[in-house]
Amino acid sequence: MIATPLRLSCCLSLGALLCPRLAPAATDPLEAVQKSATEWVKVRAETVRLESEWSSDRKLLESTVVGLEERAMQLEEKRDNAKAKTAKDRDELDAMRAKNKAAADDLQATDTQLKALGAQLIQLRPMLPPRLSQALEMSFRSLAAEKLTPSERMQAATTILNRCAQFNRMVTSGEEVLSIDGESGAKSLEVIYWGLSHAYALDREARKAWFGSPGPQGWQWELRPDTTTVVTRLIAIYNDKSDPEFVAAPARLGHLPAEEIQR
């Protein structure tokens, strides 16, 4: 039986309608290849871009490294030159530091000695003649201060020693207010000092005389009524109110009892 054209057309149409329902369409190999090729092209393009950028950046980085190395070499040369130029200055600075330390140590040792000397002078003050001790009041007060520089301490000690040496070379006389044990209150007396060793005090109205000298407890006055005439003559000779002459007056050598010597 031969199919007619109309029947064949109907069969084909019916087959086309039934085919999608009968089985799913298979994957197209050409489409998969095209998709892979597209992905590869994209990857390749990105790779080429990265390689181009790296090539450009590498040249810049290499030139930067070269520049930094040259800069480092220049800085090292400057450092070496600076060390060479300042080597002498560093040596001089080290020597100066050593001298400063030695000077500071010497100053500390000197200050310690000055403090010891000041303490001895303060201990000896009670043994000084009252007139000299009173005249050195400010110097002793300065010497006893805690916050005192070595130069100030030296100046105070030197002042005291110089005044003591000067006073010891002289015979000094004049009126002086003294507080003497056994007497009521302080009174004005005529006093004549023989350096730092001894002195004589005279009360003309009371016809009294005292012998003064440094003792274990400091300067002390000893009543000597028998020497009133002698002390009066000594003071008169000192004030040019009497002719110079030898006068026997009491004196003490060390801690021995007073004895008569010629003056």
Q: Are 210 and 221 in contact (CB under 8 A)?
A: yes
* Separation between Cα atoms, residue 175 and residue 169, nearest integer Å: 20
With a cut of 60, say whether residue 255 has pLDDT above it: no
Residues 89-148: tens digit of each pLDDT: 888 888 888 988 888 888 889 888 888 989 999 999 999 999 999 999 999 999 888 888
Residue-level pLDDT at 192: 95
Alpha-carbon span 201 to 223, nearest angstrom: 9
* R_g over Cα of the chain: 60
Is pLDDT larger for residue 251 or for residue 259? 251
Specify the pTM: 0.58
pLDDT band at 64 (very low <50, low <70, confident <90, very high): confident
Report the pLDDT averaged over residues 147-158. 90
- Domain spans, the chain: 101-169, 171-262
Distances (CA, A) of 31 to 27, 35, 39, 245: 8, 6, 12, 154
**pLDDT for res 133:** 93
Contact yes or no for 250/226 (Cβ under 8 A): no
Comparing C-alpha atoms, which of 254, 246, 253 is closest to residue 230? Answer: 246
What pLDDT was estimated at residue 16?
Answer: 42
Look at residue 238 in the predicted model and tell me its pLDDT: 92
pLDDT digits (tens, 9 = 90+) for 7-55: 434 333 434 443 444 444 456 788 888 888 888 888 888 888 888 878 7
| 249 CB-near residues (< 8 Å, 6+ apart) | 200, 227, 230, 231, 234, 260, 261, 263
The total of other beta-carbon atoms located within 10 Å of residue 213's CB is 22
The stretch 208-230 carries a mean pLDDT of: 91
Q: What is the pLDDT of residue 108?
A: 86
